[in-house]
Structures are given as C-alpha cells and as structure tokens.
Structure 1
Amino acid sequence: MFRFDNPIYLWLLLLVPLSAVIYLYSVRKYGRRIRRFGNPALIRQLSPMKSLRRMWIKFILSEGILLLLVLIIARPQIGSKLATNKHREGIETIIALDISNSMLAEDVAPSRLEKSKLLVENLMSRFSEDKIGLIVFAGEAFVQLPITSDYVSAKMFLDNINPSLIGTQGTDIGKALQLAANSFTPNSKAGKAIILITDGEDNEGGAEAMAKQARSKGIKVFILGIGSRQGAVIPMPDGSELKTSDGEPVKTHLNEEMCRQIAAAGQGVYVHVDNSNVADAVLGRELGKLQKGEINNVVYSDFDEQFQALALLAVILLMVDVLVLERKKS
C-alpha cells in the first residue's frame, strides 16, 4: 500500500504552477523591455551567445526539483509488512454516508456532514478487532473504501469526503443499501451491520425493499437520521444559499418517518443525531450486541520510506541545472 505520511505538505505542489506563472510573466516583461530598447532581431545578433533554449531547459529543471522536494517532505511510504491474525474475532461494518447538498445544512453543528464524519471517526476509535468499509452516496453510490482493518487509511478517506465527489444529486438510499450489502467479505461468519447516515430527503424509493433484502442475508441495517425536524437552509461554498428556480431559499428537513421505516425493515435501530453524544452511545451499544466471528485481518504494520529515489533524482537534476549554462558554447 502506498501513502504519504505527511499529506498536508502536498498543498505545496501549488507552488509549481504558481512559479511557472511568475516566470512566464517575467519573460513577457523582459520581452517588452527588449522591444523598447531596440530591434529584437538586431539585439539577438549583438548577443549571439545568449540561448533561449537553454534558459527554458534550466527553468524546467528548476520546476522538476521543486516538485521532487515537495514530494520528499510529504514522506512517500510503501507498506512493507503484513500483519495477519486468523484468530481475532470481530464484526464487519459498512458505513454508507449521504453526501448530497442537503447534508451541508448547519442545523447540527458544525454541519450535518461534518457531524456525520465526526461520528464515524469516533466509531472507528472504538474498533480494534473489527473491519470497516465506507460508501458515499447521493443520486448515485460508490465505494469510497473497501472493507478493511486499516483504520488509518479509513480516516484518511473520511477526511476527503465532500458533496463534490458525486455530481448526481438526490438521495438514493436503496442504491446505497444494495451496494453496501454486496461489499462485505464473502462467506464471513462475523456479525454484519450497515450504518446508513442520512437526512432522508429526496429518497428515490426502494430503500425498504433493499433493507429487507440485506436482513435476509443476516445484515442488520441501522439508520442515523441527522438534522432537525424544523429544517434549515442549505449554504453554498460562495456563502449564498441554495435557491429554487423562483429564487426562494431551499429548506431541508429531516425525514424521520422514512428513516424509521427503513430501520424497521432491516430489523435495526433508528437513532436521531443531534448536537449531543447520545447517538454515539446508542450505536456503540447496538453494535456490541452483534455476534463476533473470525476476522482475517490484513493490515500494513510497517511502512518503508520511499524518498531516497526522489532525493537522488533531485540531486541529479540539481547537478544538471548547475552544468547547463544559459549561454551557448563558444
């Protein structure tokens, strides 16, 4: 498994295009100054040793060195050792998280989506012998993280979840449940649970049937309904509010009745998520009732640093940059 141990430093990659823009601006400004000074063709004849091609080569080398340095400080690593233990017992849980625009509403602090992510992170912190998977959905559903015992990777994937991951809006809970039910480890005898976190709005239908189908496979379906019954407007990234075609603010409400019906169909439990920690306690208690089974955990227990090759390449590029002069050979 490949990862960056300090992924926050990858934001420094923005320096690469930024430096390119600054360099191109300086080249253009230099050209204007040359044209004001005299005839460019004549000036090139008066300075025959100047090489534009070499100048661009040095610039490309500098950009490559900057790129490699950023990757080095982000600490690329590859998992080198697998820790497996066939005698561990636990449960398997697939978390299906609604990331439709309505989850941006702030009737639950700091927002429905951020509260959901915090809830999932707290749940992961309780796991030790169990497996977990992540599914995100709106009008479509896809697997964000296959079922795994690698909680570090699970938290990294969780941090990157936002509504822009899915372009099709809506809340197709049925599709999310179907995908989740098919994402467990085949032939595993461990207790299985689907935890679906949603505000229940704009459901496309078929959710109850899918919950019953999951239950027929021995999978319990828990529904966490997040939001307030009074509803709230949906803020947009630019600071405005989502509005209808008539210019009226869109107000989103928690569809608690539908959430209860789906949980009942899946013989699970419906839990209302608000600004308290009640949902954490109820969910932890219900998951503790599931039968534990043999879990074949496969996780990366050790990671090898991979910066050496990048550092060597950066040194080579630096040496080439020093040897390449901007003037032509005499």
Structure 2
Amino acid sequence: MLNRVEGTWDWLSAEWFFRSTLNRFDWENPIFLYGVFIIPVLFLLRWLLNFKFVQKLDVAFHKKEIKWHPISLLRFIPDIFLTLSLLLMLVALARPQETNEKVEQWTEGIDIMLVIDISESMQIEDFKPNRLMAAKKVARDFIQGRFQDRIGIVIFSGDAYSLSPLTTDYDLLYAYIDDITGDMIESRGTAIGSALAVATNRMRESESNSKVLILLSDGDNTAGNIDPITAAQLGAAYNIKMYTIGIGKEGRVPFGKDFFGRTTYVENTLDETTLREIANIGEGKFYRVSNNKALEEVFALIDDYEKAEIKETRFRDTTDFYHVYLNWAILSFLIWMLLKSSFMSNVLQD
C-alpha cells in the first residue's frame, strides 16, 4: 500500500485507483465528489447542441452499401480521456488525505492504598462465595478502572503486612490480589490500627496532591499494638483521605459446612463506631455493606469520587494526495488535446 509519494514518478502507479487505497482516504472537500453525477449531464447537453447546430453532410448511398465498421468507435476515445480528466479533477478538488492522529493522555494521578482484612471471619459465607473472595473481586475491578494512579495493598489480620508498595504496574497488583489467602498472616485477630499505621508509613513520603486510603474490614480491633483512632489521626496528619467499609451482617451468619455437610453458623460483630470515627478523622466516608452488590456499588462510588482529571494532547499529521490525481487529470487532458485534433475526431458518424 502506498503511504507516501516519495519519487517523482510514483504517482503513475495504478494502485492509486484501487478501492483499498481510495477507502482509506479522508476527504477535505467531499462535496466535489458529487460532481461525478454532473459530468453525464454536460456530455448530454454537448451532444444535443452538436446534434442541433453542427453542420451535416447528406450523402446518398444504396442501402446495401451502408455497413457498420468497428473503426467508427474510435471517435469516442477522445471523449473518454476528457471524461477521465474531469473525473480526476473532481477527485483532486475533493482533497484526498491521510491523517495520523496521536493522542497522549496524562494525569497528575492519585495515590491509593487498599487495606484489606484477611482475618478468619472473612471466610464467612454471607457473601458469595465468601467475604474475602468478594473483597478481592471488587478490589481487582476497582484497579481496572483507574488510569495512571499509583495503588498499593496492605493486608491484615492479627498483624499487618504491606503486600505491595504504591505502583502503576496494575498487572502486578492483579497477581498479588489473586494470591491473597486467609492464611498469609499467622497471627489471629483483627489489627485495624496496625493496618492503618503500615498504610500511612507507605504513603507518608508520597508527593501526590491526593492520597486516599480504603479500609475494608468485618470486625472489631482485637489485635495489634496501636489504637485505630491514633493511627487514623497519624494518617490525617499526612493528608490521607480515608474511606472505611464495614463488610458483613451482624449476628448469626453461615461459616461453611461441618463433617456431615451441614451449614455451620457463628456469631459476628462489627465495631461500626470505630470505622465511622476513622472515616470522620480522614474526612472520608463510612459505608456498611451486607451483600456482594452493595460492596460493588460502594467501590463504584469511591471510584467516582476519587477521579483525577485526565488531560490529553492530540497530534495530527496530515498528508495530501490531491496532486497525484491532479497529475493524472493533466495527463488525461493532454492526451485528449492530442486526440481531438487527430483523425479519431473526424470519423464519420451515421
């Protein structure tokens, strides 16, 4: 396929008239292409004028002497080249072009830390298939909707562990999320304060104008060596905005099956007051969710709230090809000029 006219005579290639070539063009002045329908009208008017005003010579022949000869068709050849010249002129006036547009998108970005509870109670099955698997799915979907934001992951149960630093390598984050299991931390319990402290430590040197922490937990603070409120105040001192999500129902909830395949139940509690206070200190919001759909909706809301402005720069590289068809039009016109004065234009018509 021809992308550029590089040589002096490259315009002579027949490829300029292939459908695939013409289809890839943008047309600066497409209205001229409608002139194709006017050309037959012009030739019809020309024929009518010639029929009425051109002098005719009456010659008498016997009927048996009048025979048609193929050479009489030669008189149409000049008109064919004139028609081609007009058609190619219209194509040139329509300005066929190729435009390559490059779009560069960029944003200042947001630093986001996902703090996910993996304690034993996250295996409770009031969510499908359980709370931890539901949390992993919405975390993955949340990351997929971001653009150039740095995201990190902290997991916690009886202790807190930084699973991933802030990064824009989303494929790496997906791999980390897929590998999360409830037995990654041996210590039992729910160390909410420690998790907040680890996340804050990861974000404290961030120079981003917007730092966001999303804490997802289903229980009370029962482990760790730092109080959740103190940890929240420390995070707020580093301008970290905090969202907290309380996951699960309180009371008697399903917790798997026993040896005989019967569903077992446990009593579940949630310290909603502490989670609300953390969100209040971090100038964020607290959400309480009791099923998969509610959890997905909350992450969608946070995704909408914490969007950086995406800016883009467009570069357009436009190449004109009208001169190719103009050259062909001039060539066709010159051939017509030569032929119209030749014997072809003087072939007798019946």
Cross-structure match for 1:129 = 148
Within 5 Å, give how 1:279-318 maps onto structure 2.
279-290=295-306, 292=308
Q: How does 1:40-59 map to 2 (within 5 A)?
A: none
Q: Distance in 2 between matches of 1:193 and 1:206?
A: 20
| Alpha-carbon shift at residue 240 of structure 1 (Å) | 8.2
The aligned residue for residue 264 of structure 1 is 280
Structure 1, unmatched stretches of 5+, are 1-84, 244-248, 295-330
Question: Contact 2:252/2:266 (CA < 8 Å) preserved in 1?
Answer: no
User: What displacement does 1:173 show?
Assistant: 0.4
What CA RMSD, in Å, does the superposition of the two structures yield over aligned residues?
3.0
- 1:113-158 deviation digits (Å, cap 9, x = unpaired): 1111111011111111211111110111111111110111101110
Match of 1:215 in 2: 236
Secondary structure in 2 matching 1:277 = helix
Deviation string 1:213-258 (CA, Å, 9 cap, x unpaired) is 1112110111111111234253489888999xxxxx6422333233
Residues 276 and 141 of structure 1: CA distance in aligned 2, closer, same or farther (over 3 Å): closer
DSSP 3-state at the match of 2:127: coil
Structure 1 match to 2:117: 98
Distance 2:141 2:115 in 1: 15
Alignment TM-score, normalising by the size of structure 2: 0.52
* 1:163-191 per-position Cα deviation (integer Å, ceiling 9, x unaligned): 11000001010000000011127241331
Q: 2:178 aligns with which of 141, 159, 172?
A: 159
Q: Secondary structure at the match of 1:258?
A: helix
Partner Cα distance (1:220, 1:165) in 2: 27
Q: Is the 8 A contact 1:92 1:131 kept in 2?
A: yes
Aligned ranges for residues 73-88 of structure 1 at < 5 Å?
A: 88=107
**2:253 is the counterpart of 1:232:** yes
Partner Cα distance (1:120, 1:183) in 2: 19
Q: What is the alpha-carbon distance in structure 2 between the residues aligned to residue 262 and residue 168 of structure 1?
A: 23
| Counterpart residue number, 1:174 | 193
- Give the Cα–Cα distance (whole angstroms) in 1 for the partners of residues 232 and 122 of structure 2: 22
The TM-score, its normalising length taken from structure 1, stands at 0.55
Aligned to 2:291: 275
Distance 1:238 1:152 in 2: 39
Larger Rg: 2
d(CA) in 1 for partners of 2:290, 2:179:
23
Aligned to 1:79: none
Structure 1 residues 276, 212: CA separation in 2 closer, same or farther (over 3 Å shift)? same
Secondary structure at the residue paired with 2:202? coil
2:183 is paired with a residue of what secondary structure? helix
| SS of residue matched to 2:186 | coil
The 3 A distance-change label for structure 1 pair 225 and 267 is: same
The equivalent residue for 1:255 is 271
In 1, Cα distance between equivalents of 2:241 and 2:141 = 20
Which amino acid is 1:253 matched to? Answer: T
CA distance in 2, matches of 1:163, 1:183: 22
Per the alignment, in what secondary structure is the counterpart of residue 151 of structure 2?
strand
Cα 1:239–1:254 shift into 2, 3 Å: farther
Contact 1:233 / 1:252 at 8 angstroms: preserved in 2? Answer: no
Q: 1:250 to 1:171 in 2, by over 3 A?
A: same
Letter aligned with residue 273 of structure 1: V
Tell me the alpha carbon deviations over residues 81-137 of structure 1, each in whole angstroms, 9 at most, x when there is no partner: xxxx99532101111111110110011221111111111011111111211111110
For the residues of structure 1 that align with 2:260 and 2:245, how far apart are their CA atoms? 28
Indicate if the aligned counterparts of 1:231 and 1:253 stay in contact, CA closer than 8 A: no
**How far apart, CA to CA, are the structure 1 residues paired with 2:303 and 2:162?**
22
Structure 1 residue 276: Cα displacement: 4.6
How far apart in 2 are the matches of 1:237 and 1:212?
43
Mark the CA change 1:250 to 1:283 in structure 2 (over 3 Å): closer, same or farther: closer
The CA distance in 1 between the partners of 2:290 and 2:194, in whole Å, is 26
- Alignment of 1:107 onto 2:122: no
Point out where structure 2 has 5 or more consecutive residues left out of the alignment. 1-103, 311-350
Measure, in 2, the Cα distance between the counterparts of 1:230 and 1:251.
5
Question: After the TM superposition, which parts of structure 1 deviate over 6 Å for at least 4 consecutive aligned residues?
Answer: 236-243
- Cα distance in 2 between the residues matched to 1:237 and 1:92: 43
